[in-house]
Amino acid sequence: MKPEKLHLILRSLIFYRKSSVYQAVIVLILAAIITGSLLTGYSVRESLKSAAREHLGNTDVLISSGLRYCDPSLADKISNRTGEKCIPLLETDGYCQNFATGETALNTKIYAVSSSFFSFQGDDSILISPGNVAINENLAKILNITVGTEIIIHYRDVTPVPAGSPFASSDATSGIKVLRVSQILRSRQSGNFTLGISQIAPLNVFIDPSDLSKTDTDRRKANRLLVENKKNITLAELRNILQKAVSPSDIGLNLRETEAGGGYEIISDRNFIDQQIVNGIARAIPPGQPVLTYLANRFTIDNKATPYSFVSALPEGLYPGIFSANHIVINRWLADDLKAKVNDTIGMSWFSPLTNGKLEEKSNRLIIGRIVEMDSIWGDPSLMPEFPGIAGSSSCSDWNAGIPLNMSLIRKKDEAYWNNYKGTPKAFIGYEKGKELWGNNFGPATAIRFPVTLSKNEIENSLNGIFNPEAIGFNLRDIRAESIKSASEGVDFSTLFLSLGFFIILS
């Protein structure tokens, strides 16, 4: 540039020095507003991502068992097959109260965890012993709780029997515990752990599994499996691994020997076996046949009645040649009680659950096709499922069946039958007829029975790895990717702050 032009520019700046300074200041302010808006938006977004990572800890993949429970040992099977860390926990909802003051915190998450949970998250120093709980700082502040304070925990009961299913015990819906707070966990100690995608600070209680369970069987329950996925195993691969790892016992199915006639059967801790599981077992072991046992309110002939008796719907493949759509088989005890004989018409009534949770009494009339003896294969108490509140009762009057029972109808002879034969069904119909009458949303069978020719090992080997995880309620999620994506694709804070900055620019 020529000296004359430089001299001209310099004189121009000196002459218009005031407006030049204003322009420079305005440019600096605009640059600061724009840069600050972009940096603030970036900072907020990174804070959300950091919070998501803090909530999950080392959890990369979540395997949920849905509405059913699974055996915690399934986590070890997955870990052995993948080489990745995998731990079980039980998650339930509830609310908490300060025992001394009564202050209440709603919408509390309760996690039944062993020491493996905190070890999985990278902290081996945290241990929760029976009778004690650890809570996070958020819950401690709301309840005004310190270490050593007692806390009342109200929680959804741990029972595999779905609420609303037939014969679910009426008192199996909620539980309550008074426990001592032994630790208050900070966020870096997994205190804010959550499997939900939310920026709201959770209210967490960490409890020993034994304090959340009524029986030893319940302690062997989990509904969440956390997987660390350093090897970047795909969800499809994990799904295949899970299918190969799942055995019947992992999903609450038990193989046991029947009490009459020999052979084995599969029963479920949910009482009723899902249609998907019935189909899967049928494909794997075609000779296996479903059985459905239900509680009849009464059997009647003329003016004679027998109250509260179990009746089984049996497959003709295992009990051949005695069933038709309108016929029933009764045992000798029921025949003697009703003075019944072959070809008599007998009335049968029962409660059927409706979709709104109420019960409707239904009835049917059937023709007696056969009377069987108590010391035959028909005298089988294992045909009655382990209905909670019924199985194990010392007398009929102690039943807590989850349905309205008129105990005044129970006679001494009915108590004597229970003492001698327990829940041995007094009547039998064909399986298809029973499925038509009592099949429900919770499953069309209470057992799957196998011919005596099949050994226990043959049955177990045939059933391992046959269950499609998603068909029986499992759900696999890349929870870390979902959480980071949610934090990244929410409100564009950079644009938001930049838009707000333009008000300053206009002013």
Q: In terms of domains, do 90 and 212 share one? A: yes
| Region at 445 (left for phi over 0; alpha for psi -120 to 50; beta for the rest) | beta
Per-residue pLDDT, 428: 96
Q: Select from 227, 253, 269 the last residue of a domain.
A: 227
Q: Verify that 363 and 215 share a domain, yes or no.
A: no
Q: Specify if 279 maps to a domain.
A: no
Which residues touch 142 (CB under 8 Å, ≥6 apart)?
103, 105, 203
pLDDT in tens, 182-231: 999 998 899 999 998 777 789 999 999 989 876 655 567 899 999 999 99
Provide the token pair at 22. 């204003």
Q: 132 and 214: one domain?
A: yes
Residues 413 and 294 in one domain: yes
Write out the DSSP string of 132-156. Answer: EEEEEHHHHHHHT--TT-EEEEEEE
Look at residue 233 in the predicted model and tell me its pLDDT.
95
Residues 215, 331 share a domain: no
Q: What does each of the 507 residues of the chain score in pLDDT, given as a tens digit?
A: 566 777 676 776 676 666 666 666 666 666 665 665 555 554 555 555 666 678 888 999 999 998 889 999 999 999 999 999 999 999 999 999 999 999 999 999 999 999 899 999 999 889 999 999 999 999 999 999 999 999 999 998 777 877 777 777 655 567 899 999 999 999 889 999 999 877 778 999 999 998 987 665 556 789 999 999 999 999 999 999 999 999 999 999 999 999 887 899 999 998 999 999 999 999 999 999 999 999 999 999 999 999 999 999 998 888 876 678 889 999 999 999 999 999 999 999 999 887 776 788 999 999 999 999 998 899 999 999 888 888 888 888 888 877 888 889 999 999 999 999 999 999 999 999 999 999 887 889 999 999 999 999 999 999 988 999 998 889 999 998 888 777 666 545 445 545 555 555 555
The answer to whether residue 243 sits within a structural domain is no
**Domain final position from 186, 212, 227:** 227
**413 with 303, same domain?**
yes
What is the structure's pLDDT at 240?
Answer: 95
* Helix, strand or coil, per DSSP, at residue 385: coil
Q: Give CA–CA dist 364/387, Å, rounded.
A: 24
d(CA 391, CA 215): 15
Q: Which residues contact 378 (CB under 8 A, 6 or more apart)?
A: 260, 329, 331, 372, 425, 428
454 assigned to some structural domain: no
- Please give the pLDDT value at position 262: 82
Cβ burial, residue 87 (10 Å; 0-12/13-18/19+):
buried
Alpha carbons 83 and 294: distance in angstroms, whole number: 45
Q: How far apart are CA 418 and CA 168, in angstroms?
A: 20
Looking at the structure, do residues 212 and 320 belong to the same domain, yes or no? Answer: no
Looking only at the bridges linking them, the beta strands covering 104-112 and 204-207 are parallel
Integer Rg of the chain from CA: 33
Q: Indicate whether 205 and 320 sit together in one domain.
A: no
DSSP string, 217-236: HHHT-BSEEEE--TT---HH
* Number of Cβ atoms within 10 Å of the Cβ of 465: 14
**CA atoms lying within 13 Å on the CB side of residue 5:** 2
Query: At which of 193, 227, 261 does a domain end?
Result: 227
DSSP label of 102: -
Q: Tokens at residue 205, please?
A: 């209680």
Residue numbers of the domain that contains 18: 3-57+488-506
Largest CA distance in the chain: 131
Residues 42 and 100 in one domain: no
114 by Cβ neighbours in 10 Å (0-12 / 13-18 / 19+) ranks as: middle
Predicted pLDDT of residue 133: 96
Residue 278 lies in a domain: no
Domain count, the chain: 3
What DSSP line would sit under 249-267, residue for residue? GGGTEEEEE-SSSS-EEEE
- Tell me which DSSP letter residue 271 carries: S
Question: Cα(417)–Cα(424) distance, rounded to whole angstroms?
Answer: 9
**Amino acid at position 202, single letter:** P
Using a 10 angstrom Cβ sphere, with 0-12 exposed, 13-18 middle and 19 or more buried, the burial of residue 23 is exposed
- Number of Cβ within a 10 Å radius of residue 312: 24
The secondary structure of 177-217 as a DSSP string is EEEEEEEEE-GGGTTT--SS--SSPP-EEEE-GGGG-SSHH
- On whether both 293 and 438 belong to a single domain, the answer is yes
Distance CA 363, CA 359 (A): 13
Task: Confirm whether 120 is domain-assigned.
Answer: yes
**Helix segments in 16-135, DSSP class H:** 17-56, 73-82, 115-120
For residue 295, being part of any structural domain is answered with yes
Residue 250 domain flag: no
* 319 and 425 share one domain: yes
In a domain, 377, yes or no: yes
Say whether both 317 and 438 belong to one domain. yes
